Amino acid sequence: MSELLQAVLDSEERSDLRSFLSELRQQEKKYLLRNDILNVYSEYCSKSQKPEAYYTTSELGKLIYYTQEIIQEDSNFCFIIRSKIASQEVYWLTSDLSIEPMTVQDLLDLRDRLVNKFHPNDGDLLELDFGPFYDYTPIIRDPKNIGKGVQFLNRYLSSKIFQDSKQLLENLLNFLRLHHYNGVQLLVNDRIQSQQQLSEQVKKAIGFVNNRPDDEPYEQFRFQLQSMGFEPGWGNTAARVRETLNILDELIDSADPQTLEAFISRVPMIFRIVLVSAHGWFGQEGVLGRPDTGGQVVYVLDQAKSLEKQLQEDVLLAGLEKLNVEPKVIILTRLIPNSDGTLCNQRLEKVHGTENAWILRVPLRDFNPNMTQNWISRFEFWPYLETFAIDSERELRAEFQGTPDLIVGNYTDGNLIAFLLARRLKVTQCNVAHALEKSKYLFSNLYWQELEEKYHFSLQFTADLIAMNAANFVVSSTYQEIVGTPDSVGQYESYKCFTMPELYHVTNGIELFSPKFNVVPPGVNENNYFPYTRTKDRVESDRQRLAETLFTLEDPTQIFGKLDDPNKRPLFSMARLDHIKNLTGLAECYGQSKELQEHCNLILVAGKLRVEESGDNEERDEIIKLYNIIDEYNLHGKIRWLGVRLSKTDSGEIYRVIADRQGIFVQPALFEAFGLTILESMVSGLPTFATQFGGPLEIIQDKVNGFLINPTNLDETATKIVDFITKCEQNPNYWNEISQRGIDRVYSTYTWKIHTSKLLSLARIYGFWNFTSKENREDLLRYLEALFYLIYKPRAQQLLEQHKYR
């Protein structure tokens, strides 16, 4: 039994538990989440006149704190207790306080009954369990090491080398033999036939390069190294070659995790990368702020630029320049014929500021032109993914004149396409999914049937299960994206155990302790986003134009509102106009606070101004809501709402223009998986207030380099902002202190150089792991294919039939 439950039952608080259960029976809700439970408990303590300390220090208080969910059935209760990150216990409590542990299957059946009392499953529902496929892979034990997969793998592989050095080093030799570029052998040739020979020849080569000047180019002693068994790829100078050979020599003699990572990270094995961002409106101008784009477009474009730059640097350092090695990065997306004046109807577009990074757009196969010729929402895109992947394979082979070395998926649709492509091309698959929809929409799996027409979650969640289990490695921006916090469930953790009533049960959807998970936060584009104090890098005409646009320009086609006093401190936010981003919540917070209105103007850069201009249902709802809030609180003269599309250059300068006036950036999302706008505002020098729900919790150190807010508590949020403004007025340097700390935080942790170096290192190490472990993934992949063809594809076909009549 749970220690928390046992402690209550063994204490004088047993009767308090009984009374609390009685309080629960009076609740209208039969399914309570953590916040609901805490509220009921708080009311109970108040009614019972418990001492203030009782709320947190009592045995019952501790139990309630760790109880994630409570489900009532008849007069009995199911307690889901999460006393540790990434693990839960489930118990059944009756009215007489008898307690029984519940299995995962029992819990899922109970949830089904709650939704559909009249159609019980009677045990005839498909049950998905991925647990057995992880039985033969190493597993992390300590929850705090989740998300540090590559560090764990390095320790594991190093210990294996130590235990069975002959076999593992033989594998290392065979791994080095694998690598070539356009038919040219790299690293070692057939003069080295055994692990023993490799060890001997490495020492011989080190002795040879020790006698050469550090800066001597590799080409001048290439043939001498070839005679010893070493081909290009060890370095571009004598010093670099010596350094790489010394790392290998150390690895052979005494393996340790750092040496292993240092060596594998230098192996030239990745030259061609595909980044999949499939559902559309992917371009470099005129697409940001469209439904389903924004943050993902910015992320992938910046990642592509940085990856190409890093690959070029790696090629140079490896001494492969003379072999005409040309790294190439392709962003794979869909071609949209009716592109609304953007370049989304062009097959191939070069990424600005790169030599060999491209946007490759592949059209959807002809179907209903009303669908396939136009943008399709990410919630409706599912029927087209398989044929898109098949057609993309042909296009990618043509562009690369071969196959890619790494495929990185983005978002659920991109990750499923990455799975289909990686399966066909037999290359390493990486998943990126910073915003899993399952966590964003409350009870989305439980009530999926009611939401299916609008969101098609049955397809989305099935695609997530397939892609995340198929991936060789998964990149997340934050630790909590994987397993949450002590008091909240992580995005990936939410896939561990769930039901989709009348479709399937998931008893073990993902192994959270798998070393495939790695936290690699994105960076900020330093060309566009930099501190407002770097005046030499700013364009004065842009600054003046954007200042006028933000505060004084009258243009009813794209700006709503005229400010009574444009010189007030700007309270600024920029995001898509959808429910999760919660800009309407910020407007309401501002509307309810007279003090905020007294000190600040509210400036919003958000989507469209008119309902008829939007093709997205959620955006239309938010437009109506925002106008209603402006009227309800009479915010005319105090608010500016810009429905403009910004280039990245203008986007960066807008933050700096706000900073010129010692403004404040607020990110009020109900949930934010990571938060690139937070990095952009901080590096620009804006003191930033951001949601405490999601990634910002790891970016911002509260009250040190920014501020965390609960966007559902409007009074508290307004108070925190007003308190900051008051401190700034009392101490004119306080704004500057927070501003500089935010800048320092970004530069120390969130640059694209750090991100791409880590990503490429991961790709190489997981490639080595897959080779040396001889891991047989075929059984897992077959299981995933069965899920794709038996569940996903038939449902996608049903949606396609609906699209015929759109």
My answer on whether 581 and 717 are in the same domain is: yes
SS3 label, residue 659 = helix
* Domain end among 102, 136, 163: 102
My answer on whether 248 and 307 are in the same domain is: no
My answer on whether 329 and 452 are in the same domain is: yes
The pLDDT assigned to 672 comes to 85
- Cα 417 from Cα 485, distance rounded (Å): 30
My answer on whether 581 and 727 are in the same domain is: yes
My answer on whether 559 and 646 are in the same domain is: yes
- Comparing C-alpha atoms, which of 29, 322, 312, 21 is closest to residue 186? 322
The pLDDT assigned to 366 comes to 86
Q: Is residue 138 part of a domain?
A: no
Is pLDDT of 608 > 90?
no
The pLDDT assigned to 225 comes to 96
Integer-rounded Cα radius of gyration of the chain = 28
Averaged pLDDT of the chain: 92
- Cα 582 from Cα 675, distance rounded (Å): 14
Q: What is the pLDDT of residues 539-582, one digit of tens each?
A: 999 999 999 999 999 999 999 999 999 999 999 999 988 888 99
Is pLDDT of 118 > 60?
no
Give the C-alpha distances (Å, rounded to integers) separating 51 from 8, 47, 400, 561, 788.
17, 11, 70, 51, 56
SS3 label, residue 669 = coil
Is pLDDT of 119 > 70?
no
Q: Is residue 794 part of a domain?
A: yes
Average pLDDT over residues 179-199: 93
Is pLDDT of 122 > 70?
no
- Comparing C-alpha atoms, which of 438, 375, 385, 380 is closest to residue 414? 385
My answer on whether 484 and 505 are in the same domain is: yes
- Secondary structure string (H, E, C) spanning 201-265: HHHHHHHHHHCCCCCCEHHHCHHHHHHHCECCCCCCEHHHHHHHHHHHHHHHHCCCHHHHHHHHC
Q: Are 539 and 570 in contact (CB under 8 A)?
A: no
**Centroid of chain to Cα 239:** 39
Q: For position 54, which CATH number holds?
A: 3.10.450.330
* Domain end among 735, 750, 765: 750
**Centroid of chain to Cα 440:** 13
My answer on whether 552 and 464 are in the same domain is: no
The pLDDT assigned to 120 comes to 62
Is pLDDT of 188 > 90?
yes
Q: For position 252, which CATH number holds?
A: 1.20.120.1230
Q: Is residue 150 part of a domain?
A: no
Q: Is residue 475 part of a domain?
A: yes
SS3 label, residue 411 = helix
My answer on whether 373 and 238 are in the same domain is: no
- Comparing C-alpha atoms, which of 651, 676, 752, 743 is closest to residue 354? 752
- Secondary structure string (H, E, C) spanning 690-733: EECCECHHHHCCECCCEEEECCCCHHHHHHHHHHHHHHHHHCCC
pLDDT-based confidence at 15, cuts 50/70/90?
very high
My answer on whether 419 and 464 are in the same domain is: yes
pLDDT-based confidence at 296, cuts 50/70/90?
confident
E strand or H helix that includes residue 437 = helix 437-440
The pLDDT assigned to 289 comes to 63
Q: Are 642 and 605 in contact (CB under 8 A)?
A: yes
Q: Name residue 466's beta-bridge partners.
A: none
Q: What is the pLDDT of residues 770-781, one digit of tens each?
A: 888 766 788 999
Q: Is residue 289 part of a domain?
A: no
My answer on whether 539 and 656 are in the same domain is: yes
Question: What domain range includes position 81?
Answer: 3-102
My answer on whether 594 and 663 are in the same domain is: yes
The pLDDT assigned to 774 comes to 67
My answer on whether 734 and 775 are in the same domain is: no
Q: Is residue 116 part of a domain?
A: no
- Cα 322 from Cα 588, distance rounded (Å): 62
pLDDT-based confidence at 435, cuts 50/70/90?
confident
* Domain end among 87, 102, 117: 102
Q: For position 715, which CATH number holds?
A: 3.40.50.2000
Looking at per-residue pLDDT, the higher value among 159 and 765 belongs to 765
Q: pTM here? A: 0.86
Average pLDDT over residues 121-149: 89
- Cα 738 from Cα 726, distance rounded (Å): 14
- Comparing C-alpha atoms, which of 233, 237, 236, 261 is closest to residue 247? 261
Which residue, chain included where needed, has tokens 């009311």? Answer: 43
- Comparing C-alpha atoms, which of 483, 505, 274 is closest to residue 393? 274
Tell me the backbone φ, ψ of residue 785, rounded to 5 degrees.
-65, -40
Q: Is residue 139 part of a domain?
A: no
Amino acid at 428: T
**Centroid of chain to Cα 648:** 21
Which residue, chain included where needed, has tokens 């039994």? Answer: 1
Query: What's the domain count of the chain?
Result: 4
pLDDT-based confidence at 716, cuts 50/70/90?
very high
Q: Are 329 and 273 in contact (CB under 8 A)?
A: yes
DSSP secondary structure code for residue 405 in this structure: S
Q: Is residue 157 part of a domain?
A: no
Average pLDDT over residues 773-792: 90
- Comparing C-alpha atoms, which of 497, 509, 492 is closest to residue 673? 492
- Cα 369 from Cα 364, distance rounded (Å): 10
